[in-house]
Amino acid sequence: MPLTPDKERAANYETVYALTGDRERSYKLVMTLPDPDKSLESSAAVLSGMIGKDTSEIIRVHRAIADSFASERIATRAIFPESPLFPVQNGEYFPVIYASGDLSLLNGRHMTVLGMPKPSMQGRSDTLHALSFLLSNGITAMVSLDEGIPRLVAETMLGKDGKVIAVLSGPISRCSSESEAVLRGRIYASGLLLSVFPPMQKTERWLVLIRNSFMASVSECVLLTEEKDGGPSWSVFDKVLASGGRAMLSSSMMEVPSYTWAARHIESGALTYSSEKDLRRLVPKAARSEDVPDLFS
């Protein structure tokens, strides 16, 4: 079964990226092909000279990748920088994004919510108060699907008809557990699943690092409700803050003696959250106005 044009281009990109390890260069090379949305096998000899790989190796890798796209059973779309759907990225560059669900959410207001795997009662309370603000103002929550606060956010928003964008640490078509598969299905029905990992990507723990970089690059604003010093949420928070995005942390973290990183980040320009008026400073007032259909329109 032939691939759709977006999957053909994505398979071409993933082939070159697998052979070169350079995202930006790989996409530029694909876009120099006579037709980027058709199989690169007819151009393999030309590519061979560009990337220093045998033509037979290029064809072999491409066929394996194309087969993985063809066998995918979840309706997924690949989006590229030329598309009006493509989110603004600040930080590490990811030229191909895989999406499943309501793509219009990318053009609406959304806030990334971060937090630790085992939050305290105060951390949970701060998170739920923030979600009340999102729900009452029609703002989408962007989260990972990690244990703890991220799943609390997803489940709370879905339970109250809120919108969720989930950024995944593996391919859209692969889940780490049955409970995550159920949660993904609920998000797919009304929200959006995002990944930078193609269907043939093996699920490995270190992919979380890439996921975090991607999440940071597409986050306009981020709220950290609770995290210990050196915890994984700080990597996303730091990248958003460093790229000039809005970054806010719960003021209650300042009251915990062992949480020294919170005060350090305030000194570096992070904002503090203690009430709804603080969140109004965090979330952009306006969203992009393009009328974008969902994935299946």
Q: Is residue 286 pLDDT above 80, yes or no?
A: no
> Which pLDDT score is estimated for 2?
83
Q: Is residue 297 pLDDT above 50, yes or no?
A: no
> Which pLDDT score is estimated for 290?
46
> Which pLDDT score is estimated for 293?
47
Mean pLDDT (the chain) is: 93
- Confidence at 284, pLDDT banded by 50, 70, 90: confident
> Which pLDDT score is estimated for 154?
98
> Which pLDDT score is estimated for 69?
95
Q: Tokens for 81, please give them.
A: 């920088």
Q: For residue range 113-172, what is the model confidence (pLDDT) as tens digits?
A: 999 999 999 999 999 999 999 999 999 999 999 999 999 999 999 999 999 999 999 999
* Identity at 15, one-letter amino acid code: T
Task: Kindly give, in sequence order, each residue whose CB lies less than 8 Å from that of residue 168, ignoring residues fewer than 6 positions away.
Answer: 144, 145, 193, 194, 195, 197, 211
Q: For residue range 61-71, what is the model confidence (pLDDT) as tens digits?
A: 999 999 999 99
Q: For residue range 218-274, what is the model confidence (pLDDT) as tens digits?
A: 998 999 999 999 999 999 999 999 999 999 999 999 999 999 999 999 999 999 999
> Which pLDDT score is estimated for 175?
85
> Is CATH 3.40.50.450 correct for 97-282?
yes
Q: For residue range 167-219, what is the model confidence (pLDDT) as tens digits?
A: 999 999 888 788 899 999 999 999 999 999 999 999 899 999 999 999 999 99
Q: Is residue 296 pLDDT above 50, yes or no?
A: no
> Which pLDDT score is estimated for 203?
87
Q: Is residue 288 pLDDT above 70, yes or no?
A: no
Domain locations along the chain? 5-71, 97-282
DSSP the chain: -PPPHHHHHHHHHHHHHHHH--HHHHHHHHHTSS-TTS-GGGGHHHHHHHHT--HHHHHHHHHHHHHHHHT--S--EEE-TTSTTSPP--SS--S-EEEEE-GGGGGS-EEEEE--SS--HHHHHHHHHHHHHHHHTTPEEEE---TTHHHHHHHHHHHTT--EEEEPSS-TT--SSHHHHHHHHHHHHHSEEEESS-TTPPP-TTHHHHHHHHHHHT-SEEEE----TT-THHHHHHHHHHTT-EEEEEGGGGG-TT-HHHHHHHHTT-EEESSHHHHHHHS-S---------TT-
> Which pLDDT score is estimated for 255?
93
**Sign (positive/negative) of CA torsion 46, 62, 171, 83?**
positive
> Which pLDDT score is estimated for 174?
87
Per DSSP bridges, beta strands 164-167 and 192-195 are parallel
Q: CB 282: neighbour CB atoms within 10 A?
A: 20
